[in-house]
Amino acid sequence: MHMATAPKQAKGWRYGWLFAAVWLFYLAENVKALLEQPDMWWRNIGLVAVALFAATYLYVVSLSRHVRREQLLGSGSFTVQAWAGVLGMLALFAVQIPGAGAHALTCLVYVAAFAMVSLPLQFAIPLAAVLVALAEALPATVPGWSDNGYGLAVLLGSLATWGIRLAWDRQHRLVDAQKELSDLAVQNERARIAGDLHDILGHSLTVVAVKAELAQRLLDVDVERARKELADLESLARDALSDVRSTAMGVRGISLPGEIAAAREALAAANVEAELPGAADEVPSRNRELFAWTIREAVTNIVRHSKAKHAFVRLGPGSVEVIDDGVGCLAPGSPDGQGLSGLRRRADALGATLTVGGRDDQQGFRIRVEVPS
C-alpha cells in the first residue's frame, strides 16, 4: 500500500509549483500600480522585481518537498535554501515599495505562505506573526497608504499553508507507519517459516537418524528388516523434503492422525514402548493442528533426549498430554529450546496453556497443552 501512496505523494509535490503559479494572479495588483507609476526608474525597477519575485517564489516552492523531507529526516541542507528564498523574496518586496507603494504588501502573503510550509515551525510561526504585524502597521503609519486587508490576507495564507504542512506531515508519517508494518509482517512471516522448518526438520531428521542406526545394527542379523528400515528412510526423506517445500511456499498443513501414526513409527524405531490413541475423531478441528504440533515436538524430544523406555499420549477434545519415563525435565528456570518456544507461540495464539516439566508420580517428562472450552 505504501508503495502506491508514496509515488502519488511525490507526484503531487512535483507539480505543486503549478498550483502555486495560479496564486500569482494577485501580483497583477502590483503590476498595475507600477504601470501607473510616473517615475520611469522606479517603475522599471519595480516591474523587474515583480518578475524576479514570481520566479523566485515558483523556484522555492518546487524545493518544498525536498525541504520537508529533509526536515523530517533531521537534515538541514535544504532548510538553508528555504531561508535564502525567504530573504530573497523579502528583498524583492522591499525593492517594489518605492514604485508600487502599499500594493507591494501583497508579496508578504507569498513569503508567509512559503515560510509556513518550509521553515522549522519554531522560526516559521514567529516570522508569519511579524509579517502579519508589518502588513497591519505599515498602512497605518505610512502617509498615503491605505489598508486593503493585507494583514488578514497574510494571516489567512499562513493558516492555510500551515494546514497543508500538517496534512503532508501526517501523510508522511502514515506512509512510514505502513512501511514499518509491512516490514514487521515480513519479519514475522520469516520467523514463522523458520520455526516451522526447525520443527519439521528436527522431527524428521531425528527419526532418520534413529532408523539409520537401527538399519546398521540389523545388517548383520536381519537383512530383510534392515532393507525395510532403509526403504522407510527414503520415504521419510522424501516426506521431509515435501514438507520443507510446502512450508517455504506457505501452504503447509499438519494432520493430527498423521502425527499419531508418525509418532508410533518413530517411537517403535527408537525401541520406546508407546501407548497412543487409536483415533482423533473427538478432537475439534480448531484444536487439531496445535495438538499435532504438540505430539510432534514431544515425540521428537523423547526420541532425541529422554532415553525413555515407555511413552504415553493422552488425547481429549480440549487437551493433549505426552509423558515418558526418561531422564527427567529441564532444569528449573532454564529457557525453552527452539521447538518448545515455537510450540509455546502456537499455544498462546489459541489462548491455550502449555505445561512443561517433570512427572508427579515418577521420574520422567511431561508436555501438556490444554485449550479452554
Q: What is the pLDDT of residue 33?
A: 85
Which residue is associated with the grid cell 498423521? 258
Task: Establish how many alpha carbons lie within 13 A of residue 179's alpha carbon, considering only the half-sphere containing its beta carbon.
Answer: 11
Q: What is the arithmetic mean of pLDDT over 122-139?
A: 90
Which residue is associated with the grid cell 517564489? 57
Query: Per-residue confidence at 201, pLDDT binned at 50, 70, 90?
Result: low
| Domains of the chain: residue spans and CATH | 2-181 (no CATH), 270-373 (3.30.565.10)
- Judged by average pLDDT, the poorest of 131-135, 147-151, 289-293, 337-341 is 337-341
Query: Per-residue confidence at 216, pLDDT binned at 50, 70, 90?
Result: confident
pLDDT digits (tens, 9 = 90+) for 315-367: 998 999 999 998 865 544 444 566 788 888 889 988 999 999 888 888 889 99
Q: What is the pLDDT of residue 17?
A: 58
Give the CA angle between residues 283, 287, 293 to the nearest 5°: 110
Query: Per-residue confidence at 66, pLDDT binned at 50, 70, 90?
Result: low
pLDDT of residue 128 exceeding 60: yes
Q: What is the pLDDT of residue 211?
A: 76
Q: Which residues contact 132 (CB under 8 A, 6 or more apart)?
A: 112, 151, 154, 155, 158
Q: 25-30: long-range contacts at Cβ-Cβ below 8 A with a sequence spacing of 24 or more? A: 26/106, 26/109, 27/53, 27/54, 27/106, 27/107, 29/103, 29/106, 30/96, 30/100, 30/103, 30/104, 30/106, 30/107
Q: What is the pLDDT of residue 334?
A: 47
Give the integer Cα–Cα distance in Å for 152 and 132.
7
Q: Which of 278-292, 298-312, 319-333 reaches the highest mean pLDDT? A: 298-312
Q: What is the pLDDT of residue 9?
A: 43
pLDDT of residue 6 exceeding 90: no
Q: What is the pLDDT of residue 76?
A: 53
The DSSP secondary-structure symbol of 142 reads: S
33, 100 Cβ separation under 8 angstroms: yes
Q: Which residues contact 266 (CB under 8 A, 6 or more apart)?
A: 203, 206, 207, 210, 299, 300, 303
* Burial annotation 118-131 (CB, 10 A radius, 16+ → b, else e): bbeeeebeebbeeb
User: Alpha carbon 332 to chain centroid distance?
Assistant: 37
pLDDT digits (tens, 9 = 90+) for 234-278: 776 776 666 666 555 554 557 787 788 888 888 888 889 999 988
pLDDT of residue 11 exceeding 60: no
Query: Per-residue confidence at 87, pLDDT binned at 50, 70, 90?
Result: very high
Which residue is associated with the grid cell 518550509? 118
pLDDT of residue 130 exceeding 90: yes
SS3 372: coil
Provide the mean pLDDT of the chain: 79
**DSSP state string for 176-223:** HHHHHHHHHHHHHHHHHHHHHHHHHHHHHHHHHHHHHHHHHHHTTT-H
pLDDT of residue 22 exceeding 70: yes
Q: What is the pLDDT of residue 203?
A: 63
Query: Per-residue confidence at 95, pLDDT binned at 50, 70, 90?
Result: very high
Query: Per-residue confidence at 140, pLDDT binned at 50, 70, 90?
Result: confident
Radius of gyration (C-alpha) of the chain in whole angstroms: 38
Pairwise pLDDT comparison (69 vs 332), residue with the higher score: 69
pLDDT of residue 126 exceeding 70: yes
Quick one: what percent of the chain has pLDDT higher than 90?
Answer: 16
Pairwise pLDDT comparison (3 vs 211), residue with the higher score: 211
Q: What is the pLDDT of residue 332?
A: 47
Q: What is the arithmetic mean of pLDDT over 24-39?
A: 85
Give the integer Cα–Cα distance in Å for 203 and 293.
10
